[in-house]
Structure 1
Amino acid sequence: MTAAEDGTTANTARPGVVSSFVEGVGIFFGGFRLWGTSPKRMVLGMIPAAIVGVVFIALIVVLAVNAVTITDWATPFAETWDEPYRSSIRIAAAVALIAVAVVVVLYAYAAVTLLVGDPFYERIWADVERGLGEAPAESGESAWRGLLTGLGRAVGLLLLTVPTGAALFVLGFVPVVGQTVVPVLGLAVGGWFLALELTGYAFDARGVSLRDRRRLLGRRRSRTLGFGMTVAVLFLLPALSVLVMPAAVSGATVLARRALTEEAAGQLSARA
C-alpha cells in the first residue's frame, strides 16, 4: 500500500456526506489488503478476537435469556397497566435495551480484544505504517506499559459510552422513534466508538490525545461513521467478527493517517 492508496495526497477538497460515508466503508475493506502482505500476522490477529468472542457470545446469550426479566424490572410502573399499553411499553424497553447493548457490547468487544491481543495488533498496525511510509518512531515501551496505555484509553472511552447508552435507553420509550430511529442511532454510536478505539494505535504513536482524536474524526464524521458502522455491522455476526478484527485495525490506521494529513494540509492552506 502506497501513500497514494492511503489517500494522503495534497487533494483536500471535501466530498459530500454520502461519498464520505462510502469512502469510510472503502477504507475498512481496504484493511483486508494486509492479508496479501502479512497473512501470518493477520491469522495471529484472529486468535484473541476468537477467544474474546466466545466470552461475549456467552454474555449475549445470558442477556437474551434474561431480556424479559430485565425489561419487567425496568418498567415496574407498567405492572398495573391494562393491555395493550403494558406490552407496548415493555416492547419499547426491550428495543431500547438492544440499542444500548449494541453500543456497549460492540465497544467492549473491540476494547477487550485489543487489550488481550495488543502484541499482535501493534505489529499489524506497524506493518501498515511501514507500508504507507513516514511511520512514527517506535515507542520502545514495555508490553506492560503498552497494556496500561490501552487500558487507560479503553476506560476513558467506556466512560463516554455510559451517558450515551443512558440517553438511548430513555429515547427508546418514545413512540415510533424508539422502535425505528433508536436502533439505527445505537449502531451509529457503536460505530463511532469503535472508530475511536481502533484508531488508538496510530493516534497514540503520534501523541494525539483522546480529545483531539474526537475532534479530528468529528470533522470527518461521515467518513468515520462509514468505517465504524461497517465494522459494527460485521461485528454483530460472531463468525465474521474474528476475521474482521485484524482488518479493522489495518483500516483504522489509514483512517487516522488520512485525518491527520488533511488536518496538516488544512493548516498549511490557512497560513498561506
Structure 2
Amino acid sequence: MRDLGVGFGRLLKGQRWMARHGRSYGFGLLPGVITLVLYAAALVALAVWGEDAVSWATPFADHWSSPWQGLFRGFLTAVLFALGLLLAVLTFTAVTLLVGQPFYENLSERVDAEVSPDGTAPRSRLPLWRELWISARDSLRVLVRAALWGVLLFALGFLPFVGQTVVPVLGLFVTGFFVTEELTAVALQRRGVELHARLALLRSRKTLVWGFGMPLALAFLVPFAAVFLMPGAVAGATLLARDLLGEENADGDWAPHAPDAPGAFGGWPDSEDAAK
C-alpha cells in the first residue's frame, strides 16, 4: 500500500514542479491540444456512425422483434464506444509524447537536473532522428499490447454483471499501467533502458505504477484534463523513473526495494559520461 501512496505522490509532485515553471507550461500544452482535436474528431465519428457499424456487423438481428433488436444493438453500440474511449485513453499519451518529443525530452532533463544531487541529468547518446524512431517503434509495440488487452476487455464486457462491474476496474488497472509506461519511457529511454527492460521494471513495482497511473487514467477521462495534466505528468514520471532505478534525489528520498543499479536493466553504464 505504501507504493500506491508513493506513486500518487510522484504524480502530485510533478504537477507542482510544472506549476513552479509556468513559463514552459504553454509550450507543453500544444502537443496535447493537437492530439485532443484529432481524438475528439474520431470519437464524434464513432458516436455518429457507431450504430450503423453495429447494424452492418449484426445482420442476423435484422428480423428480431422489438424491443430485442434495439436493446441488443444499443448495448453493442455502447460497448463499441466504450472500447473506443478506452483505446483513446490508452493511446493518447503515446501520440502526445510523439508529437511533443523535443519539448518533453527537454522537460524531463530539467527535472532530472533539478532533483539530482550533483545537478546533472543523464543524456542519450543517440541523435534526435534515432530517438524519434525508437520512441515511435516502442510506442507501437506497447499499443499492440494495449490493444490486445482492449479486445479482451471488450469481449468480457458481454458477460452479465462481470462486464458492468469487474471489467471497468480491470480496464482502469490496464490503462494506468500502460499510461505510466509511455510517460516513464521519456526518462528511461534517455538512460538507454530498452522496452523489455522498462516493462520488467514496471512489473516489478506494479503498485507503485498503479499509484501513479490509475489516478491519471481517471483524470484523462475528464474532457480536456489530459491536455492540462500532460506536462506535469511527464515531470512526475521522471521522478518515478528515478524511483524505479533507485537513483538518489537531492532531498535524500529513495525508492524502497529499488534495483541495485540502473545497468542491471540495460541502461548506459554512465549516461552522463557517455553523452560527452
TM-score by length of 1: 0.82
SS in structure 2 opposite 1:141? coil
Shift of 1:67: 2.4
Alignment equivalent of 1:35, drawn from 18, 30, 34: 18
CA distance in 1, matches of 2:166, 2:72: 16
Query: How far does the alpha carbon of each residue in 1:29-66 deviate from its partner, in whole angstroms, 9 at most, with x for none?
Result: 21112234422222211111112111111111111112
Q: Structure 1 residue 53 and structure 2 residue 48: aligned?
A: no
Structure 1 gap segments, 5+ residues each: 1-15, 268-272
Is 1:99–1:183's contact at 8 Å kept on the other side of the alignment?
Answer: no
2:91 aligns with 108
Shift of 1:200: 0.5
CA distance in 1, matches of 2:156, 2:75: 9
| Counterpart mapping for 1:87-106 below 5 A | 87-106=70-89
1:176 aligns with 161
Q: Structure 1 residue 188 and structure 2 residue 183: aligned?
A: no
1:129 aligns with 112
Alignment equivalent of 1:263, drawn from 258, 261, 264: 258
CA distance in 1, matches of 2:261, 2:69: 55
Describe the shift of the 1:265–1:179 C-alpha distance in structure 2 as closer, same or farther (beyond 3 A). same
Q: Structure 1 residue 161 and structure 2 residue 156: aligned?
A: no
Larger CA deviation: 215-224 vs 179-188: 179-188
TM-score by length of 2: 0.81
Alignment equivalent of 1:244, drawn from 219, 229, 236: 229
Shift of 1:195: 0.7
CA distance in 2, matches of 1:35, 1:266: 28
SS in structure 2 opposite 1:252? helix
Alignment equivalent of 2:103, drawn from 108, 120, 130: 120
SS in structure 2 opposite 1:173? coil
Structure 2 gap segments, 5+ residues each: 247-256, 263-276
CA distance in 2, matches of 1:94, 1:228: 28
Alignment equivalent of 2:27, drawn from 39, 44, 56: 44
Query: How far does the alpha carbon of each residue in 1:109-128 deviate from its partner, in whole angstroms, 9 at most, with x for none?
Result: 21111111111101110111
CA distance in 2, matches of 1:225, 1:94: 30
Query: How far does the alpha carbon of each residue in 1:104-144 deviate from its partner, in whole angstroms, 9 at most, with x for none?
Result: 21122211111111111011101111112165532253332
Aligned-pair identity (%): 38
Is 1:34–1:42's contact at 8 Å kept on the other side of the alignment?
Answer: no
CA distance in 2, matches of 1:33, 1:163: 35
2:216 aligns with 231
1:3 aligns with none
1:152 aligns with 137
* Structure with greater helix percent: 1
Task: Say how many residue pairs are matched.
Answer: 250
SS in structure 2 opposite 1:264? coil
1:10 aligns with none
Is 1:52–1:109's contact at 8 Å kept on the other side of the alignment?
Answer: yes
Runs of 4+ residues over 6 Å off in structure 1: none
Q: Which amino acid in 2 is paired with 1:65?
A: V
Describe the shift of the 1:203–1:212 C-alpha distance in structure 2 as closer, same or farther (beyond 3 A). same
Is 1:125–1:249's contact at 8 Å kept on the other side of the alignment?
Answer: yes
SS in structure 1 opposite 2:158? coil
